[in-house]
């Protein structure tokens, strides 16, 4: 049943430019490095930082920002597809359980975000090779930085999805989301416990894995909370 | 009688207000049940609860003899519905809109073409619904409700936004579904004239309460033209007529006779005169079904 729901959710996002956004995001992040390395290549060489190690960290400086912005836009899009003509009443009157409807939305978003994360890794590798950086390609590092960031932003995904789905007016989740994007941008100044800091993979122990693990655990907890609330609510 | 839908003291409260109060809805199998009530009476709220969209504050719902809260998914497999304004995805075509639902029901693809044909949308199957007129969207909503060949069809004001020929078409379709496919159909409306021509059962709801529920014949009988008699002592005269085996009702300072045949009226008048009653007036009261409906719903309002 959940499989069929995901198929219909994928069908509903056709012609909405959502897949385009999922490509544009990672491309944008790498494009920023094109500008960065285009302008400052000599400086990097001079500083002895023209290597994969520093390149990956440079890319990752913008990933959290792009990812959180992407989450805000995609979740709101996803909810507005159903809110537009209030098709929630049509879906919930189908022989499906309410939790599976919610899970399907969540899974569809995860598919889109994982797709974008894979593209980010791919684009980074391609541009890195094009630059002819020093040393071996640090594949593990690359994958780590892309996917850890994704895992670390799962709490934000859960929160935005829940707010978007329960809000009749999409202004609310967008406003909330934009504040989140700004917080993500200022991650350096935030305390470790704030979920908007997590995608930056920064913490006082300097161990990105902590952010990824907490992101996954807290993300799933927020997802379950949102789903239970969705089940409890009357459909208008 | 076998009931497809049976509710017991169904109640829904929003804050302090009761939108639906202690409703005992009974829809017999194979019937077209007209669910009537003025705006804000609680029709849509009741329908939402029947579909499991809203949780009742109190009471229970049985559909196909099964409890809705416990076997919701099993029940909904055999229910088609259209609640309030039709829902659709404007950026998808009519066909794609139905396909999104078909996948979940798991019915064959050719069913989409069948339902599109039933509502006469075959020509625009590949057009985006964004460009549809209100009536076309309404038809698409009806098509969607028929996708799974339901045994129970729930339509909330289905002729909303349709032109007169569209209304007649849908009316004929509903009749056909009941007679040919044996569907049980619940159709809500705030217009008696809509229900009058197709329903064989009516439920009238006002301010959340059921104020009448029976076959339409019973309602028609209540709306027949009557002969009203005003007499010096109505109560006594009425008792006298009853004891003489004459069918009569006593209400509001007058006696009403259901049998309007000339001989009957003449006989009643003679009987009363011969027994010393003074007759002030003999009048005919003309009432339509609409009057009865209006009277029922406004009486409730006055309380
Ligand atoms: N979600 C809600 N929250 C609060 N009150 C509601 C809600 N839904 C309905 N109501 C109230 O419940 C009452 C019944 O509304 P309902 O929509 O069931 O009426 P209706 O009979 O369908 O009317 P109409 O003919 O206008 O469609 C109204 O007074 C309405 O204001
Ligand atoms: Mg209504």
Tens digits of residue pLDDT in B70-103: 999 999 999 999 999 899 999 999 999 999 999 9
Alpha-carbon distance of B46 to B51, in angstroms, equals: 9
Does residue B297 surpass a pLDDT of 90? no
Q: Which two tokens stand for residue B32?
A: 């077209």
Hey, whose CA ends up nearest to atom 2 of ligand 1? B14
Alpha-carbon distance of B57 to B77, in angstroms, equals: 25
| CB-CB neighbors (< 8 A) of A1 in chain B | 104
Residues B131, B20 share a domain: yes
Q: Is the distance from CB of A23 to CB of B111 less than 8 angstroms? A: no
Best B89, B127, B152 member to test A by mutation, with max A CBs in 10 Å, is B89
| CB-CB neighbors (< 8 A) of B87 in chain A | 85-90
Residues B258, B199 share a domain: no
Residues B265, B120 share a domain: no
Whether B122 is covered by a domain: the verdict is: yes
Q: How many domains does chain A have?
A: 1
Hey, whose CA ends up nearest to atom 18 of ligand 1? B42
Domain that includes residue A182, residue range: 2-232
- The separation between CA B137 and the C-alpha centre of its own chain, rounded to angstroms, equals 23
Alpha-carbon distance of A162 to B185, in angstroms, equals: 36
Hey, whose CA ends up nearest to atom 17 of ligand 1? B44
Does residue B157 surpass a pLDDT of 60? yes
Q: Give the mean model confidence (pLDDT) for residues A217-233.
A: 95
Best B50, B54, B66, B87 member to test A by mutation, with max A CBs in 10 Å, is B87
Highest mean pLDDT among A127-131, B76-80, B286-290: B76-80
Whether residues A93 and B89 touch (CB distance < 8 A) is answered with: no
Give φ, ψ of B82 to 5 degrees: -140, 110
Lowest mean pLDDT among A10-14, B139-143, B193-197, B288-292: B288-292
Whether B138 is covered by a domain: the verdict is: yes
Q: Is the distance from CB of B95 to CB of B126 less than 8 angstroms? A: yes
Q: Which two tokens stand for residue B151?
A: 């045994």
Alpha-carbon distance of B185 to A226, in angstroms, equals: 36
Q: Give the mean model confidence (pLDDT) for residues B239-248.
A: 86
Residues B37, B107 share a domain: yes
Predicted confidence band of residue B299 (pLDDT cuts 50, 70, 90): low
Pairing of strands B254-257, B17-23: unpaired
Alpha-carbon distance of B221 to B143, in angstroms, equals: 36
Share of chain A above pLDDT 90, in %: 58
Give the model's pLDDT for residue B259: 79
- Domain stop point among B164, B189, B220: B220
**Where does residue B28 fall: left (phi above 0), alpha (psi -120 to 50 degrees), or beta otherwise?**
beta
Q: Which two tokens stand for residue B66?
A: 């099964």
Ligand nearest the Cα of residue B82 is 2
Q: Which sign, positive or negative, has the C-alpha torsion B283, B287, B292, B294?
A: negative
Residues B203, B254 share a domain: no
Relative to the CA of B157, which ligand 1 atom is closest? 27
CA atoms within 13 A on the CB side of B60: 9
Ligand nearest the Cα of residue B155 is 2
Residues B122, B44 share a domain: yes
Q: Give the mean model confidence (pLDDT) for residues B10-36.
A: 94
Alpha-carbon distance of B36 to B48, in angstroms, equals: 16
Partner-chain residue, chosen from B74, B84, B103, that has the shortest CB–CB distance to A8: B103
Alpha-carbon distance of A165 to A167, in angstroms, equals: 6
Return the axis-axis angle of helices B134-146 and B164-180, rounded to nearest 10°. Answer: 10
Give the model's pLDDT for residue A4: 93
Whether residues A92 and B77 touch (CB distance < 8 A) is answered with: no
Whether residues A93 and B83 touch (CB distance < 8 A) is answered with: yes
Alpha-carbon distance of B137 to B158, in angstroms, equals: 11
Q: Which sign, positive or negative, has the C-alpha torsion B264, B269, B272, B273?
A: negative
Q: Which helix (H) or strand (E) holds A76?
A: helix A63-83
Does residue B225 surpass a pLDDT of 80? no
Q: Give the mean model confidence (pLDDT) for residues B40-62.
A: 95
Whether residues B87 and A89 touch (CB distance < 8 A) is answered with: yes
Average model confidence (pLDDT) across chain B: 89
Whether residues B87 and A87 touch (CB distance < 8 A) is answered with: yes
Residues B243, B205 share a domain: no
Predicted confidence band of residue A119 (pLDDT cuts 50, 70, 90): very high
For residue B179, count other CB atoms closer than 10 A to its CB: 11
Give the model's pLDDT for residue B193: 84
Q: Which helix (H) or strand (E) holds B56?
A: none
Predicted confidence band of residue B9 (pLDDT cuts 50, 70, 90): very high
Q: Is the distance from CB of B135 to CB of B127 less than 8 angstroms? A: no
Give the model's pLDDT for residue B244: 85
Distances in Å between the alpha carbon of B75 and those of A32, B79, B108, B152, B162? 55, 7, 20, 10, 30
Residues B282, B250 share a domain: yes
Give the gap in angstroms from C-alpha A235 to the nearest C-alpha of chain B: 5
Best A8, A87, A95 member to test B by mutation, with max B CBs in 10 Å, is A95
Partner-chain residue, chosen from A8, A92, A93, that has the shortest CB–CB distance to B100: A8
Residues B255, B216 share a domain: no
Query: Is residue B204 lining ligand 1, measured as CB closer than 6 Å?
Result: no
Query: Is residue B44 lining ligand 1, measured as CB closer than 6 Å?
Result: yes
Query: Is residue B55 lining ligand 1, measured as CB closer than 6 Å?
Result: no
Average model confidence (pLDDT) across chain A: 90
Residues B244, B215 share a domain: no
Q: Which residue of B has its CA nearest to A231?
A: B53
Does residue B129 surpass a pLDDT of 80? yes
Whether B55 is covered by a domain: the verdict is: yes
Q: Which two tokens stand for residue A220?
A: 């799933």
Lowest mean pLDDT among A182-186, B81-85, B202-206, B224-228: B224-228
Alpha-carbon distance of A167 to A178, in angstroms, equals: 16
Whether residues B53 and A89 touch (CB distance < 8 A) is answered with: yes
**What CATH number did the domain enclosing B279 receive?**
3.30.70
Q: How deeply is B90 buried, as exposed, middle or buried, from its count of CB atoms within 10 A (0-12, 13-18, 19+)?
A: middle
Q: In what order do the strands lie in the sheet with B248-251?
A: B248-251, B254-257, B226-231, B279-285
Whether B293 is covered by a domain: the verdict is: no
Q: Is B33 helix (H, G, I), strand (E, B) or coil?
A: strand
Lowest mean pLDDT among A140-154, A196-210, B64-78: A196-210
- Domain stop point among B199, B220, B241: B220
Of A103, A98, A199, residue with least CA distance to A146:
A199
| CB-CB neighbors (< 8 A) of A10 in chain B | none
Residues B245, B175 share a domain: no
Lowest mean pLDDT among A212-226, B14-28, B226-240: B226-240
CA atoms within 13 A on the CB side of B200: 12
In chain B the first and final C-alpha atoms are separated, in Å, by: 33
Q: Is the distance from CB of B143 to CB of B151 less than 8 angstroms? A: no
Residues B141, B264 share a domain: no
Give the model's pLDDT for residue B302: 47
Q: Which two tokens stand for residue B24?
A: 């005992």
Alpha-carbon distance of A13 to A17, in angstroms, equals: 8
Annotate A103-144 with DSSP letters as a single string.
HHHHHHHHHHHHHHHHHHHHHHHHHHHHHT-BS---HHHHHH
Domain that includes residue B46, residue range: 3-220
Q: Give the mean model confidence (pLDDT) for residues B220-232.
A: 81
Q: How many domains does chain B have?
A: 2
Q: Give the mean model confidence (pLDDT) for residues B285-299.
A: 74
Does residue A120 surpass a pLDDT of 50? yes
Does residue B301 surpass a pLDDT of 60? no
Whether residues A92 and B73 touch (CB distance < 8 A) is answered with: no
For residue A93, count other CB atoms closer than 10 A to its CB: 25
**What CATH number did the domain enclosing B158 receive?**
3.40.50.300
Alpha-carbon distance of A94 to B105, in angstroms, equals: 8
At A175-207, the pLDDT tens digits run 999 999 998 888 778 787 888 888 887 777 878
Does residue B222 surpass a pLDDT of 80? no
- Provide Rg for chain B, Cα atoms: 24
Q: How deeply is B301 buried, as exposed, middle or buried, from its count of CB atoms within 10 A (0-12, 13-18, 19+)?
A: exposed
Q: Give the mean model confidence (pLDDT) for residues B238-265.
A: 83
Of A122, A144, A129, residue with least CA distance to A57:
A144
Alpha-carbon distance of A125 to A30, in angstroms, equals: 10
- Cβ neighbours of residue B113 closer than 8 Å, sequence gap 6 or more: B122, B125
């Amino acid at each position: 049943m959940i499989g069929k729901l995901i198929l219909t959710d994928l069908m509903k996002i056709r012609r909405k430019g959502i897949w385009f956004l999922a490509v544009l995001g990672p491309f944008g992040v790498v494009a920023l490095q094109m500008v960065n390395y285009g302008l400052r290549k000599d400086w990097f060489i001079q500083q002895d930082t023209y290597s994969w190690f520093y390149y990956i960290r440079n890319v990752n400086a913008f990933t959290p920002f792009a990812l959180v912005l992407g989450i805000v836009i995609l979740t709101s899009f996803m909810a507005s597809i159903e809110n537009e003509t209030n098709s929630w009443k049509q879906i919930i009157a189908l022989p499906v359980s309410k939790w599976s409807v919610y899970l399907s939305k969540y899974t569809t978003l995860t598919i889109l975000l994982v797709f974008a994360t894979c593209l980010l890794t791919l684009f980074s590798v391609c541009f890195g090779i094009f630059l002819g950086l020093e040393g071996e390609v640090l594949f593990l590092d690359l994958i780590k930085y892309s996917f850890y960031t994704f895992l670390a932003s799962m709490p934000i995904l859960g929160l935005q999805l829940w707010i978007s789905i329960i809000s009749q007016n999409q202004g609310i989740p967008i406003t909330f989301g934009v504040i989140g994007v700004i917080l993500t941008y200022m991650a350096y100044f935030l305390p470790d416990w704030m979920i908007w800091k997590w995608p930056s993979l920064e913490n006082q122990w300097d161990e990105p894995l902590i952010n990824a693990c907490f992101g996954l655990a807290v993300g799933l907890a927020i997802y379950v909370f949102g789903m239970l609330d969705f089940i409890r609510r009357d459909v208008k | 009688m076998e009931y497809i839908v049976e509710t017991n003291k169904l109640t829904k409260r929003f804050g302090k207000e009761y939108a639906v109060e202690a409703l005992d809805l009974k829809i017999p199998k194979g019937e077209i049940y007209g669910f009537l009530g003025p705006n804000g009476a609680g029709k849509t709220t009741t329908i939402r609860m029947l579909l499991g969209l809203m949780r009742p504050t109190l009471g229970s719902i049985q559909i196909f003899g099964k409890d809705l809260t416990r076997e919701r998914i099993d029940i909904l497999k055999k229910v088609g519905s259209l609640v309030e304004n039709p829902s659709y995805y404007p950026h998808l075509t009519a066909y794609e809109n139905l396909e999104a639902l078909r996948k979940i029901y798991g019915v064959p693809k050719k069913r989409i073409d069948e339902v599109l044909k039933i509502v006469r949308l075959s020509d625009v199957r590949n057009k985006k619904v964004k460009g549809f007129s209100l009536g076309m969207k309404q038809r698409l909503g009806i098509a969607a409700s028929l996708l799974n060949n339901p045994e129970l069809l729930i339509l909330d004001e289905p002729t909303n936004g349709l032109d007169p020929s569209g209304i007649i078409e849908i009316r004929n379709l509903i009749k056909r579904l009941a007679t040919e496919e044996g569907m049980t159909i619940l159709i809500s409306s705030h217009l008696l004239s809509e229900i009058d021509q197709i329903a064989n059962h009516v439920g009238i709801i006002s301010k959340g309460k059921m104020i009448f529920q029976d076959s339409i014949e019973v309602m028609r009988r209540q709306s027949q033209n009557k002969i009203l008699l005003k007499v010096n002592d109505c109560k006594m005269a009425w008792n006298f007529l009853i004891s003489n085996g004459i069918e009569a009702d006593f209400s509001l300072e007058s006696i009403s006779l259901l049998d309007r045949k000339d001989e009957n009226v003449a006989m009643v008048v003679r009987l009363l005169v011969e027994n010393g009653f003074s007759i002030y007036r003999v009048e005919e009261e003309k009432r339509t079904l609409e009057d009865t409906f209006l009277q029922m719903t406004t009486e409730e309002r006055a309380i």
